[in-house]
Amino acid sequence: MHPTTLIANAPPRPWNRPWWWCAKGEIPTLAWIIGIHLAAVAGAILLPLPPWEVLVVAAGLLFLGGLGTTVAYHRSLAHGGARLNPAVEQFLLFCAVLNGSGTPRSWVTFHRHHHKHSDSDDDISSPDHGMWWAHLRWLWQAPRVETTTYAPDMFKLRYRIWDTLLYPTLALSLFGGLLLTPWLGWELAWASAAWLGPVRLVWALHTQCTVNSVCHLGAREEHGTGRNVRWLALIHLFQGENWHANHHREPGRARLGLSWHQIDIGWYALLGLRAVGLAKRVRG
């Protein structure tokens, strides 16, 4: 067979497929993303605002989930920028999973793959394949990455256990507000569940996704594999992930905000944990 025939008959690359096409095993991912968006919109429009105390708890869960992702998943596990006390580590992993960040094994695997292949056609979350590919579509359309190749250290039981706990934790994250029904009544309990669950999860999802999309758009003009985006600081609750050019220059550093005006609460949290003996080998 002529080589040109092979090329013509080759399957399309994932980013050239329709948005609803799913890679093997990723139908639940697409269903989850569509589901939380529909639930968030319906809850925000059709239900009353819950009590202000519930909104404070939702904001607190969002903040802790972000810390779990940036401190535990990213700086500690993916890059070895710090070593956390086991109890603190497990608490932060729980917060990250509750925030919809996926399991520690999958997150670390994909992130290390991203760093190895940044700025190449093999970077599975590159905006070179389109803004929405980098922001969302790769989550359910990119092929699986081998954990044995990129994250063999993540096969320890304390990380593997989250593969089993993923769905129960997500169920708690999505419907936990209904536990307030005896105190608030069914209508306010559903409203609380909407804000504690899908509204919070949608915010958390898009906050994380901006690192792959917005923080890589036009990145070659500032740095080969990322750019600092100041206006994202508020959306990221000042936890530091928006200082992405700094991170790609020195991925092993646990500090992402490198100057006084680059606020980096993730770094401050690590300094605080180190001061009380709950983190060590913190690389600044």
Cβ atoms 230, 87 nearer than 8 A: no
Tell me which long-range contacts 127-135 makes (C-beta under 8 A, separation of at least 24).
127/212, 127/213, 127/216, 127/217, 129/13, 129/15, 130/15, 131/213, 131/217, 132/19, 132/213, 133/15, 134/209, 134/212, 134/213, 134/216, 135/206, 135/209, 135/210, 135/212, 135/213, 135/214
Q: What is the DSSP string of 90-139?
A: HHHHHHHHHTT---HHHHHHHHHHHHHHTTSTT-TT-GGG-HHIIIIIHH
> The tokens 């669950």 sit on which residue?
197
Residue 253 in tokens: 């550093």
- Taking alpha carbons only, the member of 132, 133, 131 closest to residue 217 is 131
The CA-atom distances, in angstroms, between 144 and each of 28, 84, 137 are 14, 28, 14
HSE of 244, CA atoms in CB hemisphere, 13 A: 30
pTM for the predicted model, two decimal places: 0.93
29 within 8 A of 194, measured Cβ to Cβ: no
Is residue 48 left, alpha or beta, with left meaning phi > 0 and alpha meaning psi from -120 to 50? beta
Q: What is the pLDDT of residue 124?
A: 84
Tokens encoding 183: 């105190």
Predicted local distance difference test score (pLDDT) of residue 127: 86
How do residues 238-280 score in pLDDT, each as one tens digit?
A: 999 999 999 999 999 999 999 999 999 999 999 999 999 999 9
Q: What is the pLDDT of residue 100?
A: 97
The confidence score (pLDDT) of residue 3 equals 33
Q: Is residue 148 exposed (0-12), middle (13-18) or buried (19+ Cβ within 10 Å)?
A: exposed
Chain-centre distance of CA 188, in angstroms?
A: 29
Supply angle C-alpha 150, 156, 162, rounded to 5: 90
Q: Kindly report the length of the chain.
A: 284
- Can you give the pLDDT at residue 8? 40
The Cα 73–Cα 86 span in angstroms is: 13
Tell me the pLDDT of the chain (284 aa) as tens digits. 333 333 344 467 888 899 999 999 999 999 999 999 999 999 999 999 999 999 999 999 999 999 999 999 999 999 999 999 999 999 999 999 999 999 999 999 999 999 998 877 788 888 888 899 999 999 999 988 899 999 999 999 999 999 999 999 999 999 999 999 999 999 999 999 999 999 999 999 999 999 999 998 875 554 567 889 999 999 999 999 999 999 999 999 999 999 999 999 999 999 999 999 999 999 98
Token pair of 124 as six digits:
């599975």
Domain coordinates in residue numbering, the chain: 23-280
